[in-house]
A and B are shown apart, each in its own frame.
Chain A
Amino acid sequence: MTSIIWTWIAAFFTLAILSFLYKDNPLYKFAEHVYVGSSAAFTILYVWVFDAYPKLVMGFREKVGMQKYLLIIPLILSLFIILRFIKPLSWLSRWSIAFTVGMAAGLGITGLTQGFLVPQVQASFLPLFVQGPTTGQTILLTFNNIIIVFGTIFTILYFYFSREHKGLLGVSSKIGVTILMITFGASFGYTIMARISLLIQRVYFLLHNWLGLV
């Protein structure tokens, strides 16, 4: 019985959101506000269970020596954030925000360099001639590598705005735009397919789990 009630609730929220396809209506607005409110609470619970509790509370319980006492710093910075709600002391929350911004900037430099820039550049240095098992394979693999290497370079050149896009730079950036358009088109097609599969999943839920028709 309980599972039937919850299936009906799930079906109600699914239909309420889908009703927006007709027009904005009170049912959709109700579901939308439930979604925003519950998502906010969900985030709080998630942050507590997976971030704050294991790192802070468990850290105080399990860590020893200096490592344990060092946890007082993030605890104080976290409490400073809450001080934002107390007007005379709200300026202290800037310290915590400054810390998170500084950390994000530091991680930005190291993380983007190690995780994005170097691996992407490394992966783009491909041989411009590849010997395949057959002539057709050789031509295809070489062609693919040429597109990847020059496509990457031309795309970057398109975003270079310190010089007017004329002459060689103009031609390169035009090819860059062409590559970008194919990229956006392909990404668009891929996104549409992901959304459609979600829609199929919801329709299947309505027809199978709720109505039992299929």
Chain B
Amino acid sequence: MKKEIPLAITFISGVLLVLALFIPHKPFGNLEEIFNDWYIIVSGFTFLLGIDSLLGYNFGKLKRKEKDAPYALVLILSFFITLTWGIVEIVRTPEHNPFGPTSTFSLYFYNSIFIPLQATMFAILSFFIASAAYRAFRAKEINSALLLVSAVLVMLGRIPLGQSAAPYVITVIFLIFAVYFFAESAGVTEPKIKIAYILVALIFVALIYPLGFVYFRQHIPEFADWIMNVPQMAGKRGIMIGIALGGIAMSIRIILGIERTYMK
């Protein structure tokens, strides 16, 4: 029974929601709204499990007097200080909201502790992404070259100096491609392929002026928008449709009780 009842709850709650979509009449009509409210309430309480795990782990570190026990103490203290501050503001403020405009919680904690920590944490990621990109973006084959080129063009299109910098960046990229194809041609013995490689290298050199110094100097923001709105959109749509199909399939498996990993 300890397994059957949860499986039945999952099945009934999942099926009722799907039924509510197809039967827009009472009692199913407002079922989605009611269930959604219940879901928000219950899932809110599941955060307590995460908090229990976080605090339990750090209290354990303190008990065992591990090497980084002082940091565990910092975490626990910052948790309880923030929580107490928030509760005090819930009681104190007229709107009972620590996130309200008159609350010291939002004025000082949110603006001077939470935002600096969060924004700087995300900001330093730009350095690590850039360093990862340096290692990953090698123009060795056409697909990774496309990755590099589209990233560079989108970045150039998003900054005010992009239009001035574009000709020089395009020159460097096209020269790299030209040198690459020229170097590759040296290792090819077939005369026709050798000529094709050299021709491609020459095309890259020939395109530097018309593309880099004429077109991109004027139109780099529009071109970056085009990348975002057309090829990027196509790829993203393919991924999103794939995610939707996968999510629906997984949901059906869960409702039918085929997928039971959440019971462990």
Chain A interfacial positions (CB closer than 8 Å to B): 6-7, 9-11, 13-14, 17-18, 20-21, 29-49, 51-52, 55-56, 59, 67, 70, 73-75, 77-78, 81-82, 84-85, 91, 93-110, 112-114, 116-117, 120-121, 123-124, 144, 147-156, 158-159, 176-193, 195-196, 198-199, 201-202, 205
Contact A178 B82, beta carbon cutoff 8 Å = no
7 pairs, CB–CB < 8 Å, chain A vs chain B: A30-B71, A91-B2, A98-B5, A99-B38, A182-B146, A192-B151, A195-B129
The list of the 3 closest CB pairs from A to B, nearest first, reads A155-B238, A151-B234, A183-B235
| A47-B47, A81-B48 known; A156+B241 contact, CB < 8 A | yes
When A37-B79, A40-B54, A40-B79 are in contact, do A117 and B245 touch as well, CB less than 8 Å? Answer: yes
**Is the CB–CB distance between A52 and B41 below 8 Å?**
yes
Q: Is the CB of A105 within 8 A of B109?
A: no
Majority secondary structure of chain B interface residues (helix, strand, loop or mixed)? helix
CA distance A10 to B251 in the complex (A): 44
CB pair B150 A34 closer than 8 Å: no
Q: Distance (Å) between the CB of A20 and the closest chain B CB?
A: 6
> DSSP class of A's interface residues: helix, strand, loop or mixed?
helix
Known: A94-B6, A147-B231, A179-B234. A113 touches B75 (CB 8 A): no
Q: In whole angstroms, how far apart are the Cα atoms of A183 and B237 in the complex?
A: 10
**Contact in complex: A103, B159 (CB < 8 Å):** no
Total of A-B residue pairs, C-beta within 8 Å: 386
Q: Are B9's CB and A192's CB within 8 A?
A: no
Cβ contact within 8 Å between A152 and B37: no
What's the tally of chain B residues with a CB closer than 8 Å to chain A? 123
Which of A74, A95, A114, A190 touches B38 (beta carbons < 8 Å)?
A74
Establish whether residues A193 and B159, one from each chain, have CB atoms under 8 Å apart when the complex forms: yes
Evaluate contact between A20 and B124: CB separation under 8 angstroms: yes
Q: Is the pair A195, B262 in contact by a Cβ cutoff of 8 Å?
A: no
Partner of B117, one of A31, A46, A49, A110: A31
Residue of A nearest to B85 (CB): A41
Chain B residues with CB below 8 A from A99, complex form: 9-10, 13, 38-39, 42
Partner of B6, one of A46, A95, A147: A95
Chain A residue numbers with a CB within 8 Å of B68 are 29
Q: Which residues of chain B (115-153) have a CB below 8 Å from chain A?
A: 115-127, 129-130, 133, 142-144, 146-153
Question: CA–CA, A139 to B92, complex, Å?
Answer: 64
Question: What residues of chain B lie closer than 8 Å to A17, measured between beta carbons?
Answer: 116-117, 120-121, 124
For residue B86, CB closer than 8 A to chain A, the reply is yes
CB pair A45–B130 under 8 Å, yes or no, is: no
Apart from A13-B113, A112-B251, list 8 A-B contacts with CB within 8 A: A40-B51, A93-B49, A105-B254, A107-B39, A120-B237, A181-B144, A182-B227, A188-B133
Contact B112 A9 (CB under 8 A): yes
Inter-chain contacts of A180 with B (CB < 8 A): 235, 238-239
Given the known interface contacts A33-B71, A37-B76, A95-B6, the answer about A106 and B35 at a Cβ–Cβ threshold of 8 Å is yes
Whether the Cβ atoms of A84 and B47 lie closer than 8 Å is no
Contact partner of B51 (CB less than 8 A), chosen from A44, A195, A199, A205, is A44
